[in-house]
Amino acid sequence: MHNPQINSAGELIHLLSVEGLPKAMIHRILDTAESFLSVTDREVKQVPLLRGKSVFNVFFENSTRTRTTFEIAAKRLSADVVNLNIGASSTSKGESLLDTIDNLAAMSADMFVVRHSESGAATFLAQHLNRTRDGAVHVINAGDGRHSHPTQGLLDMYTIRHYKKDFTKLRVAIVGDILHSRVARSDIHALTTLGCPEVRAVGPSTLLPSHLEGMGVKVFHDLREGLADVDVIMGLRLQKERMKGALIPSAQEYFKHYGLTEDKLKYAKPDAIVMHPGPMNRGVEIDSVVADGPQSVILSQVTFGIAVRMAVMSILASSKGVNG
């Protein structure tokens, strides 16, 4: 198949990347998420859509926040959830990635939520399962290397749509360590697909990849210029664990030039929203006054993220495998 995440009937069988997702499918996921938001307000926070299904959270890389929200989402759909910290188990004993997944699939897994430090790992697994399991076992990419973090991108789109309604009238600034950010890549692809007319990348040249302008992104190295009249500001975490060499002079210097403060926020539109995928480095990427302020929607992102992940799982579970 040309696109391993879509079958011949146009159904979503894996979620591997926002890139390649049709606009209609993105809207379907966001609309489905909206219908799940009310589940959070119920006394019994469950619906039976995945009852009897087994969801395996297979994390080769640590992430408490993402794993927890996937676990909550699956349990609210009534799935059986198994959490595996693979880094501390089979692969450290020399077992290959495919052997690990094949063994788990043999335990009647219906869905894998996979996080891996290597770009393309989720797609590699999905293509393998399409061949060996006819696409009946679904893969959700929970972050792979610098490549993609599709559910974060989708929950960011849900958040923007919730507060701003129409993507075709927005100016969005993504600020910070775009070079190492799979979230930024997912957001750029999603915003472009949904018709956002102006996406900006703001940061020091050492933290911006060279191909951004080829993706239709406007590049700014001055934060005040980059924030001028924007509707949405998306801050990014400085990913020091992925940096090789000194890409910034110091955290203090970074905050001075690129940290989002009340003063710098004034350059954006008065009703601009402030987003961050978390975890935040307060006093480095963002000032606490802004993070906790009236324009911040950072905690709403977390709430919406559960509904978006429920939506993705329910849509995958309703698909009929590789051949549709």
- The binding site for L-aspartate comprises 93, 182, 237
Binding residues for carbamoyl phosphate: 65-66, 115, 149, 152, 278-279
Binding residues: 65-66, 93, 115, 149, 152, 182, 237, 278-279
DSSP annotation of 77 reads T
- The SS3 assignment for 158 reads helix
- The length of the chain in residues reads 324
In DSSP notation, 249-303 reads S-HHHHHHHH-B-HHHHTTS-TT-EEE--S---BTTTB-HHHHTSTTB-HHHHHH
Burial level of 83, CB count in 10 A (0-12/13-18/19+)? middle
Q: Which residues in 140-170 are b (16+ Cβ under 10 Å) and which e?
A: bbbbbbbbbbbbbbbbbbbbbbbbbeebeeb
Name the nearest CA neighbour of 53 among 280, 314, 321, 320: 314
Alpha-carbon distance of 313 to 304, in angstroms, equals 14
Beta-bridge partner residues of 286: 260, 282
Burial level of 55, CB count in 10 A (0-12/13-18/19+)? buried
315-to-49, 50, 68, 101, 277 alpha-carbon distances in Å: 10, 11, 20, 22, 24
